[in-house]
Each structure stands twice: as structure tokens, then as C-alpha cells.
Amino acid sequence: MSAKAPVPGRLVIIGGAEDKDGEMAILRRIVELAGGTDGNIAVVATASGAPLDPALRYRSLFLDLGIGQASCLPISSRIQAYDPGVVERIRKSTGVFFTGGDQLRITSILGGTPVHKALLERRMEGALVAGTSAGASAMSDIMIVGGPEEEAPKKCTTKLAPGMGLLHDSVIDQHFAQRGRIGRLLSAIAQNPGITGIGIDEDTAIEVGPDLCFTVLGSQTVTVIDGRNIEITNASERAPDSPLALTDVTLHILPKGYGYDLKTGKPLAPKGD
């Protein structure tokens, strides 16, 4: 009898500024999914310009919340991302957590390295991968690295780059409602209408299962933008910085307990409703 294939690990993608002093519901869920007292979380603060400080803070939080082991991985250069010892610590982890900062630091330092490959393999073997703020943006295939806030969507104003490839056919923005980022997410969807835009508010997260359905956690909301049914757009015709025309965009606002099926594009009501 052949062994069952491993089930891919879950993703917990946080919009930033998650509660670190009260109930800490999102961080508690990360500890639970990483194995609790039997778990081993590796904290990666590559996105930060001063990576030791946020790494130590999250390590302390996870230990206080009951994780068995938590360690800080010193990855601030591509040389360190080739270190066999660092790679081995990723391979032994039951969860990997990415802090905030600059998402382009994550991908430019880790992209294509043995650490990146080990991360993708561990996730497919069942390990949890979580990230907040910049660590959230880096999760998808296509990543937002910049763009104007609190403006209507315009052509060529949202800057995109390859992400870490943990979540396919999606693009993520964080601190979403708090920083007025709907325009830049719409701009990203105009350039890539076949993917799903996911805007995550602060102290809010999505928990993505192996079936590619996610559930909303936390105190605020998640905005989902589906551009697959766009009928009219001037994205390929207008000059840079010109206002975009987009019709038949589907938008969903999902608070805690609601979910979304990324395969079918259907929102999901809370279980029991």
C-alpha cells in the first residue's frame, strides 16, 4: 500500500499591524497551525532594514503563545540565503513567518536561492507559511512593490514584480483600507485581469487551505477584486498616468468568518449560516 501524498501547508497572510497586545487571535492561530508545543517556527525578517529587532519580537511573541521552538533566521544577503545551515533550519521548521518591511528585499534576496527552494518544498510537505505586511505581499506570483495611494486607478502607476510563488493567480495588497489602496489594486488587476486581487486590512488575515479556499481572520475586512469578467478597459490604449476605464469588475467585501474560493471565484458564507 503506497503512502499518502503530503497535504500542502496552509498560508496565513496578514494585512499588517496585527494585534500583539490583546487577544492576539491571528498570531495564536499561526502557533496552532504550526504545531503548538510540538511546533518549530522560523522567523524571517529579511524585509526589514534592521532584521534582528522584528525577528526577536516575533520570536518572543510566538514563544509566549506556546510554540515549542522559535528561532530567528539571519538572512539579510543572498550569501546567507545559500548557507546550508540556514537552509537546514527551514527544512526542520513546521512554520515560517515573514515580517514586514520592504517586500522587494524579500524577493531580491531570497528569490531562486536554496532557502527559497526549501521554503516551497516545506510548504508542499505540510509546513505553514505566514507573513505580515511586506511578508504578505511577497506570497503571490505577482507582487505589488509600489504605487500611489488614495487615488483613482491609473495606467502604469502600480509597480509590479515577481513574488515568492506561494499563492498562484493572485496579487495581494496590505494595510488596504487604512491606506486607501483600492486604486492601485484595481490598476494591478487591469494589467492582469486573469488573476484575483486580494486587499487585506490591518489586524486582518486570510487563512488559505490546500483546497485554495480562504477564511478571513481578525477585526477588519478583506476586499476581493475579480477582473475575469471585465468587458471594457482602456488599459492598453491610454497614455501613462491616464485614468483607467474598467467595467464589470466583481468586488467582494468579506469580514471575519467569511471566505472565498479562489478556484471558482465564489464568496463563502460563514459555516452554519
**Helix (H, G, I), strand (E, B), or coil: what is residue 38?**
helix
Catalytic residue check, 175: yes
Catalytic residue among 151, 219, 242, 252: 151
Catalytic residue among 133, 137, 140, 170: 133
Catalytic residue check, 116: no
d(CA 147, CA 264): 29
d(CA 13, CA 24): 15
Catalytic residue among 18, 137, 175, 207: 175
Other beta carbons within 10 angstroms of residue 178's beta carbon come to 15
Number of H helices, E strands in the chain: 7, 15
**Helix (H, G, I), strand (E, B), or coil: what is residue 174?**
strand
- How far CA 256 is from CA of 16, 109, 124, 224, 269, in Å, comes to 16, 34, 27, 14, 10
Catalytic residue check, 125: no
Catalytic residues: 133, 151, 175
